[in-house]
Amino acid sequence: MTLSNEFKIGFIVILAAFVTWVGFRIMQDNPLLSLDTEVEMIVDRVDGLNAGSLVYLRGVKIGSVRSVSLTESDSIRVVMSLDNGRQLPQGSVGVITATSLVDSKGIHIRAGSSPDLIPSGGRIEGVYAISVLESVTAEDTQSLTQGASGAFEGIQGASQGLAGLLNDTTQASFQASIQNVERSTEELAAILEGKKSDVDATIESARSLMAQLDTLATDNRDQVQTTMTQLEATLQELESTSQELNEAVITLNSILTKMDQGEGSLGLMLNDPSLYQELDSLSAELKTLTRGVNEDPKRYLRHLRLFRLF
What is the pLDDT confidence band of residue 41, given thresholds at 50, 70 and 90?
A: very high
Question: Is residue 88 within 8 Å of 39, Cβ to Cβ?
Answer: yes
pLDDT, position 125: 92
- The pLDDT-based confidence of 92 (bands split at 50, 70, 90) is very high
The lowest-confidence range among 46-60, 65-79, 161-175 is 161-175
**Taking 50 as the threshold, does the pLDDT of residue 309 lie above it?**
no
The strand pair at 76-82 and 93-98 is best described as unpaired
More confident residue, 165 or 42: 42
* pLDDT at residue 59 tops 60: yes
Place 79 in a pLDDT band, splitting at 50, 70 and 90.
very high
d(CA 2, CA 13): 19
Lowest mean pLDDT among 6-10, 87-91, 183-187, 269-273: 269-273
pLDDT at residue number 101: 62
State the amino acid at position 194 in one-letter form.
Answer: G
Residue 28: pLDDT over 60: no
Q: Label residues 13-43 b or e (16+ Cβ within 10 Å = b).
A: eeeeeeeeeeeeeeebbbbeeeebbbbbbeb
pLDDT, position 307: 46
The total of other beta-carbon atoms located within 10 Å of residue 46's CB is 18
The pLDDT of residue 156 is above 70: yes
Q: What is the pLDDT of residue 30?
A: 54
Residue pair 82/39 in contact (Cβ under 8 Å)? The answer is: yes
Q: Are 102 and 126 in contact (CB under 8 A)?
A: no
- The pLDDT mean for the chain works out to 78
- Report the C-alpha gap between 127 and 107 in whole angstroms: 9
Cβ atoms within 10 Å, residue 275? 13
pLDDT tens digits for 125-143? 999 888 766 665 545 666 6
Cβ contacts of residue 106 below 8 Å, gap of 6+? 49, 53, 54, 55, 56, 96, 97, 98, 99
- What is the arithmetic mean of pLDDT over 284-306? 71
How would you class 88 by CB atoms within 10 Å of its CB: exposed for 0-12, middle for 13-18, buried for 19 or more? buried
Residues 6+ apart with CB under 8 A from 99: 54, 105, 106
Of the ranges 7-16, 126-135, 142-151, 190-199, which one carries the lowest mean pLDDT score? 142-151
31 phi/psi in degrees, rounded to 5: -70, 150
Domain locations in the chain as residue ranges = 1-30, 33-135
Q: What is the pLDDT of residue 32?
A: 53
Q: What is the pLDDT of residues 224-236, one digit of tens each?
A: 788 888 888 888 8
pTM of the full predicted structure? 0.37
